């Protein structure tokens, strides 16, 4: 079995992993990071979105071995020192979730967007989140949450 060494949520991790194991399965099963959800297994829903080297990726479409030597951040690693990321705070404040199943992927995609574009338009927010499906909210509060997070980060709550 190949050896996998990477940085996971800011800490070095090394593990033996079958070459065919998906990143989402390794995160959930071997690392017990169950905030990364499995929704569709076809990379359509975005519930499995994580950051790999700062880029939002669907972990159901990536082999764990492809993360070798890279930095992976899951929803569990987004908060720092017990303080929620501004996107997490905004999703709560703006009621950007209902059932919560899509929320980790939405938050990870939104956080990545705001790293590269701190002041996105509503159209840019919609475009950045188009790979994340929500069956409950209708997206209005999700877009409002991303706007609120952008405002908070611009005011000094940046991560």
pTM: 0.94
Domain boundary among 35, 50, 77: 77
| DSSP three-state, residue 83 | strand
d(CA 155, CA 31): 35
- Mark whether 45 and 91 lie in a shared domain: no
Q: Check which CATH number belongs to the domain holding 132 and give it.
A: 1.10.150.120
The reply to whether 105 and 127 lie within a common domain is: yes
Domain count, the chain: 2
Do 45 and 15 lie in one domain? The reply is yes
Q: What is the pLDDT of residues 46-102, one digit of tens each?
A: 999 999 999 999 999 999 999 999 999 999 999 988 899 999 999 999 999 989 899
**64 vs 26: CA distance, rounded Å:** 7
Instruction: Determine the Cα–Cα distance for residues 27 and 81; give it in Å rounded to an integer.
Output: 21
Boundary-marking domain end, from 28, 45, 77: 77
Structural domain for 92, as ranges: 86-157
């Amino acid at each position: 079995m190949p050896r996998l060494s990477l940085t996971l949520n800011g800490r070095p991790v090394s593990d033996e992993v079958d070459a065919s194991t998906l990143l989402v399965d390794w995160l959930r099963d071997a690392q017990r990071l169950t905030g990364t959800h499995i929704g569709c297994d076809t990379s359509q829903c975005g519930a499995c979105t994580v950051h790999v080297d700062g880029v939002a990726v669907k972990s159901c479409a990536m082999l764990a071995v492809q993360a070798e030597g890279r930095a992976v951040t899951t929803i569990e690693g987004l908060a720092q020192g017990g303080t929620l990321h501004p996107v997490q705070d905004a999703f709560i404040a703006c009621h950007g979730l209902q059932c919560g199943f899509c929320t980790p992927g939405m938050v990870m995609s939104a956080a990545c967007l705001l790293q590269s574009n701190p002041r996105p338009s509503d159209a840019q927010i919609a475009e950045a989140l188009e790979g994340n499906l929500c069956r409950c909210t209708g997206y209005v509060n999700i877009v409002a949450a991303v706007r609120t997070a952008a405002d908070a980060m611009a005011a000094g709550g940046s991560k």
